[in-house]
């Protein structure tokens, strides 16, 4: 597994590791072959007893015991059996075998990864590497620090147990990361999801099976052993089930901010954290608490787990408080026909803030966790301010040292973002001159609209900002539009040409395809959208280049010479 | 989480495609990752950046629109409010929570009602009227204040460069 992750690791890559393991294994087999071909090898080993616990000591003497019996009469199966038995007893061969099975697992992991995930992305590989080293580190501490195992076969058993679980855990982590990645893309195919689903189901089954194994073999050895064995199984199982739940929720297109979804995640997060915490606590208690490095590491881990649990609980408390706040103080009103300004989806029932702005209940809750103010008008939602929520920073004196660009410019200020649009306010109607000034201002931005039309709209809205918003949102199409009735106002790309370079005729030096105006459309195919976007970009650049050259021709050619040197060619 | 972000981004992309503000194009470069967009911004008329087409990258967080995207010009830029690496320093791109220095009032900061379109329009206005008190690019701010002619000539060189015109 590790070899596939990152090249920067001080780990051999998978190829080298496989080659090394294969070489070691063949050497061990050869060694075992030569050793077993000397008859009587069994006597040395057998004398020490065939019991596994004593095997390590006994096997050491085995090769040294010379035996005169001729090996010629053994058949192949017997020989294979002999070799296998010998290898199980001889510690060096034993370790080679363990290494070989690790290598096989790594190969299987790499194969699975190729099959299900394809190439790993950098972030995934990084997360995987972190998880791997973290896991190895803590399990090492556990096996040698906490359990303090005395016998080789116990070490082997624990190591193989954790290797298997680590394998499952790493795969589960990969699934989780990949799922998050898939949900970033609308084009992600169902096939990728299906493979992910299959792998997750497989992993969950494997984890459950291992849990059963832990119950069957661990329980007889005592509760401690069982708890240590089971903890990691449960963690992997929870992680898989959480990913499966996410998949299901996404397939059902559940509203991510709604309460049921939130509580699903909460439960999974909490269960995982609690299991991890209990496991760590158990380790600390089982440890003899000698002031060793192992104990220190465990305590540190315990502390960080506690902090994570506390943070999660605090987050939930905040969520619950805000939810209660919105539930009790902001009424639900019918919001049909409106769209929620947070998610841009249509609303059926909406929550109304004191400032009369409407949002989805769930959207509002999620936002308020971030900042307790109305998203539209930024009015602080003071009433019973939630405990953890910081009050809005005071405005005023500090403004002299402003660090960021403020939209205080005369030319753009009136309609630029972050200025509230308050429909309910009704100031006295502005004088005619002011309307005209605003109309000119808006017209500078939207040349397709006539002054008269803008003035009419401005009389109703009383604000350049609102009129600009109306135009932007297509509520105020330009009146005289002879040939294109359907495309929205200033959507047609050639529009700039009429403003900037009316006297210069366009030069047809770019690709014919690019020269055609891109029809205004939003394709449902992502490939078409991509290529359309590329074309629009090329067109914009070509157009800008033409206009630049028309305005400031390059040195050799005088201003509006018709066959000006084509910059695109 | 990412699902609602995706829906909202798709809606914004559609709006920007069907109803684009003049001189501005924006959309995901590769729809495999809908959370990384490229935008082309035309330098505002009557300013030293007039006529340039400035490409910028927009990276959206998975909880968009609760948190603002990050914006970075991918062409050379020389402007008081743009860092040397192209990152844009305007208040609308700052989440209400992170204001270590307490410089801004929250009313100018990010909120979910903002959008890609509004960000890009803010950037256009920033190009038109730099705020020379900003510390994003001290050299540019100083030159903007003290040597406008040289600033303009640098801007013109950048404009030409973005258009692929060399002399
Ligand atoms: Zn909503
Ligand atoms: Zn409001």
| Active-site choice (B89, B116, B136, B141) | B89
- Given B62, B81, B99, which is nearest A405 (Cβ)? B81
Q: Do A345 and B6 touch (CB under 8 A)?
A: no
Report the SS3 class of residue A364: helix
Identify which has the larger pLDDT, A15 or A386: A15
Residue of B nearest to A402 (CA): B103
The mean pLDDT value for B17-30 works out to: 90
pLDDT at A293 over 80: no
pLDDT of residue B77: 92
Q: With cut-offs at 50, 70 and 90, classify the pLDDT of residue B26.
A: very high
Q: With cut-offs at 50, 70 and 90, classify the pLDDT of residue A558.
A: very low
Name the minimum distance, in Å, from the CA of B21 to any CA of chain A.
7
Residues 6+ away with beta carbon under 8 Å from A54 = A48
Report the SS3 class of residue A138: helix
**What is d(CA A367, CA A412) in angstroms, rounded to the nearest whole number?**
28
Q: What is the DSSP string of B147-166?
A: -HHHHHHHHHHHHHHHTT--
pLDDT at A132 over 80: yes
The mean pLDDT value for A533-553 works out to: 87
Ligand nearest to the CA of A346: 1
pLDDT of residue B136: 85
Ligand nearest to the CA of A351: 1
Computed over every residue of chain A, the mean pLDDT equals: 71
Answer yes or no: are the C-beta atoms of B79 and B129 closer than 8 Å. no
B positions 138-157 inside 8 Å of A (CB): none
User: Which tokens is A123 given?
Assistant: 């972030």
Chain A positions in Cβ-Cβ contact with residue B159 (cut-off 8 Å): 548
Q: Do B40 and A533 touch (CB under 8 A)?
A: no
Answer yes or no: are the C-beta atoms of A132 and A170 closer than 8 Å. yes
Q: Do A184 and B30 touch (CB under 8 A)?
A: no
For the stretch A75-91, pLDDT in tens is 778 878 888 888 777 77
* CA torsion, ordered A278, A280, A286, A289, to nearest 10 deg: -130
Instruction: List, as own/partner pairs, every contact residues A322-330 make where C-beta atoms lie below 8 angstroms and the sequence separation is at least 24, other chains included.
Output: A322/A365, A322/A368, A322/A369, A322/A372, A322/A386, A322/A389, A323/A259, A323/A365, A325/A368, A325/A383, A325/A384, A325/A386, A326/A351, A326/A361, A326/A364, A326/A365, A326/A368, A329/A383, A329/A384, A330/A354, A330/A364
pLDDT of residue A567: 44
Computed over every residue of chain B, the mean pLDDT equals: 86
Backbone conformation region of residue A494, classed left if phi is above 0, alpha if psi is from -120 to 50, else beta: alpha
Which among B3, B68, B109 is the top mutation candidate for probing chain A, defined by the most A β-carbons within 10 Å of its own β-carbon? B3
**What is d(CA A322, CA A366) in angstroms, rounded to the nearest whole number?**
9
Q: With cut-offs at 50, 70 and 90, classify the pLDDT of residue A331.
A: confident
Chain B positions in Cβ-Cβ contact with residue A183 (cut-off 8 Å): 2-3, 6
The mean pLDDT value for B40-48 works out to: 91
How much of chain A exceeds pLDDT 70, in percent? 62
Query: Largest Cα–Cα distance in chain B?
Result: 50
Most confident of A332-336, A388-392, A438-442, B152-156: B152-156
Chain A positions in Cβ-Cβ contact with residue B22 (cut-off 8 Å): 445, 490, 495-496
- Ligand 2 centroid to residue A356 C-alpha, Å: 6
Q: With cut-offs at 50, 70 and 90, classify the pLDDT of residue A478.
A: low
Helix H or strand E encompassing A391: none
Name the minimum distance, in Å, from the CA of B78 to any CA of chain A.
15
Which among A405, A486, A531 is the top mutation candidate for probing chain B, defined by the most B β-carbons within 10 Å of its own β-carbon? A405
- Given A416, A526, A549, which is nearest B125 (Cβ)? A416
Q: Do B19 and A472 touch (CB under 8 A)?
A: yes
Nearest to A283 by CA among A136, A455, A144: A144
Name the minimum distance, in Å, from the CA of A254 to any CA of chain B.
9
Least confident of A137-151, A385-399, B126-140: A385-399
**What is d(CA A156, CA A153) in angstroms, rounded to the nearest whole number?**
5
Active site residue B89: yes
Helices (H), chain B: 2-18, 116-128, 138-146, 148-162
Q: Do B22 and A490 touch (CB under 8 A)?
A: yes
**What is d(CA B147, CA B132) in angstroms, rounded to the nearest whole number?**
13
Binning chain A into helix, strand and coil, the percentages to the nearest 5 are: 65, 0, 35
pLDDT of residue A333: 85
Q: Do B92 and A412 touch (CB under 8 A)?
A: no
For the stretch B70-125, pLDDT in tens is 999 999 999 999 998 999 988 889 887 655 455 555 567 888 989 999 999 999 99
Q: Do B53 and A541 touch (CB under 8 A)?
A: yes
pLDDT of residue A294: 73
B positions 83-112 inside 8 Å of A (CB): 89-92, 94-97, 99, 101-109, 111-112
The mean pLDDT value for A367-396 works out to: 62
- Given A420, A489, A522, which is nearest B17 (Cβ)? A522
How much of chain A exceeds pLDDT 90, in percent? 13
pLDDT at A308 over 80: yes
Report the SS3 class of residue B53: strand
Q: Do B165 and A187 touch (CB under 8 A)?
A: no
Secondary structure string (H, E, C) spanning A183-220? CCCCCCCHHHHHHHHHHHHHHHHHHHHHHHHHHHHHHH
Instruction: List, as own/partner pairs, every contact residues B164-167 make where C-beta atoms lie below 8 angstroms and the sequence separation is at least 24, other chains included.
Output: B164/A541, B164/A545, B164/A567, B165/A545, B165/A548, B165/A549, B165/A554, B165/A567, B167/A554, B167/A555
ipTM metric: 0.88
| Protein residues with C-beta less than 5 angstroms from the ion ligand 2 | A 355, 357, 374, 376-377
Q: With cut-offs at 50, 70 and 90, classify the pLDDT of residue A471.
A: low
The mean pLDDT value for A183-190 works out to: 69
Ligand nearest to the CA of A360: 1
Q: Do B40 and A489 touch (CB under 8 A)?
A: no
pTM, whole model, 2 decimals?
A: 0.62
Q: Tell me whether the omega of the peptide bond preceding residue A568 falls within 30 degrees of 0, making it cis.
A: no
Name the minimum distance, in Å, from the CA of B85 to any CA of chain A.
17
Chains A–B, number of C-beta pairs less than 8 Å apart? 236
Residues 6+ away with beta carbon under 8 Å from A285 = none
- Ligand 1 centroid to residue A251 C-alpha, Å: 19
- Ligand 1 centroid to residue A412 C-alpha, Å: 29
Chain A positions in Cβ-Cβ contact with residue B51 (cut-off 8 Å): 544, 547-548, 551
pLDDT at A222 over 80: yes
**What is d(CA A103, CA A110) in angstroms, rounded to the nearest whole number?**
10
pLDDT at A364 over 90: no
**Which residues are paired to A380 by β-bridges?**
A373
pLDDT of residue B83: 92
pLDDT of residue A444: 64
**What is d(CA A104, CA A100) in angstroms, rounded to the nearest whole number?**
6
- Ligand 2 centroid to residue A122 C-alpha, Å: 42
Answer yes or no: are the C-beta atoms of B15 and B117 closer than 8 Å. yes
Identify which has the larger pLDDT, A314 or A7: A314
Nearest to A518 by CA among B27, B55, B18: B18
- Ligand 1 centroid to residue B6 C-alpha, Å: 13
Sheet with B36-42, strands from edge to edge, namely B24-28, B36-42, B53-59, B70-73
pLDDT at A57 over 80: no
**What is d(CA A110, CA A1) in angstroms, rounded to the nearest whole number?**
6
B positions 26-85 inside 8 Å of A (CB): 27-35, 38, 40, 42, 45, 51-53, 62, 65-67, 81
Q: How many CA atoms lie within 13 A of A296 on its CB side?
A: 3
Nearest to A206 by CA among A245, A243, A169: A169
pLDDT of residue A289: 56
Least confident of A151-160, A192-201, A541-550: A151-160
B positions 14-33 inside 8 Å of A (CB): 14, 17-23, 25, 27-33
């Amino acid at each position: 597994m590790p070899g596939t992750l990152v090249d920067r690791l001080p780990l051999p890559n998978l190829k080298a590791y496989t080659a090394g393991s294969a070489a070691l294994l063949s050497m061990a087999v050869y060694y075992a072959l030569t050793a077993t071909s000397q008859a009587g090898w069994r006597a040395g080993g057998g004398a020490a007893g065939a019991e596994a616990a004593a095997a390590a000591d006994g096997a050491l003497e085995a090769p040294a015991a010379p035996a005169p019996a001729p090996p010629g009469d053994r058949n192949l199966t017997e020989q294979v059996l002999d070799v296998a038995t010998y290898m199980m007893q001889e510690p060096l061969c034993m370790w080679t075998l363990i290494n070989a099975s690790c290598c096989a697992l790594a190969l299987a992991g790499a194969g699975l990864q190729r099959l299900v995930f394809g190439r790993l992305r950098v972030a995934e590989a990084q997360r995987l590497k972190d998880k791997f080293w973290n896991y190895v580190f803590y399990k090492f501490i556990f096996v040698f620090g906490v359990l303090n195992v005395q016998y080789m076969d116990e070490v082997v058993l624990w190591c193989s147990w954790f290797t298997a679980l680590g394998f499952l855990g790493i795969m589960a982590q990969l699934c989780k990361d990949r799922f998050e990645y898939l949900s970033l893309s609308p084009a992600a195919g169902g096939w990728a999801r299906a493979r992910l689903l299959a792998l997750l189901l497989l992993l969950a089954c494997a984890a459950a099976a291992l849990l059963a194994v832990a119950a069957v073999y661990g329980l007889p050895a005592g509760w401690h052993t069982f708890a240590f064995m089971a903890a990691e199984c449960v963690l992997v199982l929870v992680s898989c089930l959480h990913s499966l739940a996410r998949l299901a929720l996404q397939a059902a297109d559940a509203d991510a901010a709604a309460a049921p979804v939130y509580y699903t995640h909460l439960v999974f997060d909490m269960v995982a954290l609690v299991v991890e915490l209990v496991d760590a606590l158990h380790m600390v208690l089982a440890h003899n608490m000698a002031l060793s490095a192992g104990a220190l590491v465990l305590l540190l881990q315990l502390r960080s787990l506690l902090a994570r649990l506390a943070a999660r609980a605090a987050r939930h408390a905040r969520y619950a408080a805000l939810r209660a706040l919105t539930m009790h103080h902001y009424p639900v009103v019918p919001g049909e026909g409106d769209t929620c300004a947070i998610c841009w989806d249509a609303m059926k029932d909406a929550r109304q803030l004191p400032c009369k702005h409407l949002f989805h209940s769930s959207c509002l809750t999620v936002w308020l966790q971030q900042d307790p103010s109305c998203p539209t008008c930024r009015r602080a939602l003071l009433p019973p301010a939630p405990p953890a929520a910081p009050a809005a920073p005071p405005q005023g004196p500090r403004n002299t040292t402003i660090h960021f660009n403020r939209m205080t410019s005369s030319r753009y200020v009136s309609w630029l973002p972050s200025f509230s649009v308050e429909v309910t306010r009704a100031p006295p109607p502005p004088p005619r001159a002011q309307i005209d000034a605003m109309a000119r201002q808006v017209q500078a931005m939207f040349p397709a609209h006539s002054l008269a039309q803008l003035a009419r709209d401005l009389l109703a809205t009383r604000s350049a900002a609102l009129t600009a918003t109306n135009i932007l949102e297509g509520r105020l199409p330009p009146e005289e539009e002879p040939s294109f009735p359907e495309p929205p106002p200033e959507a047609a790309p050639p529009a700039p040409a009429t403003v900037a370079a009316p006297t210069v005729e366009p030069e047809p030096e770019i690709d014919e395809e690019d020269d055609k105006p891109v029809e205004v459309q939003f394709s449902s195919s992502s490939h078409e959208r991509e290529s359309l976007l590329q074309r629009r970009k090329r067109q914009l650049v070509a157009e800008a280049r033409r206009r630049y050259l028309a305005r400031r021709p390059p040195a050799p050619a005088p201003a509006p010479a018709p066959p000006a040197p084509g910059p695109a060619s | 989480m990412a699902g609602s972000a995706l829906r909202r981004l798709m809606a914004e992309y559609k709006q920007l495609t069907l109803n684009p503000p003049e001189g501005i194009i924006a959309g995901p470069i590769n729809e495999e990752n809908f959370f990384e967009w490229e935008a082309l911004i035309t330098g505002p008329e009557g300013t030293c950046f007039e006529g340039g087409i400035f490409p910028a990258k927009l990276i959206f967080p998975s909880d968009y629109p609760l948190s603002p995207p990050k914006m970075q010009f991918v062409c050379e830029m020389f402007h008081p409010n743009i860092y040397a690496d192209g990152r844009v320093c305007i208040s609308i791109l700052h989440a209400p929570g992170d204001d270590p220095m307490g410089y801004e009032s929250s009313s100018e900061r990010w909120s979910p009602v903002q959008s890609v379109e509004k960000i890009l329009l803010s950037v256009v206005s920033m190009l038109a009227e730099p705020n020379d008190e900003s510390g994003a690019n001290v050299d540019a701010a100083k030159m903007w204040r003290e040597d406008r002619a040289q600033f303009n000539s640098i801007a013109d060189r950048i404009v030409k460069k973005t258009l692929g015109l060399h002399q």
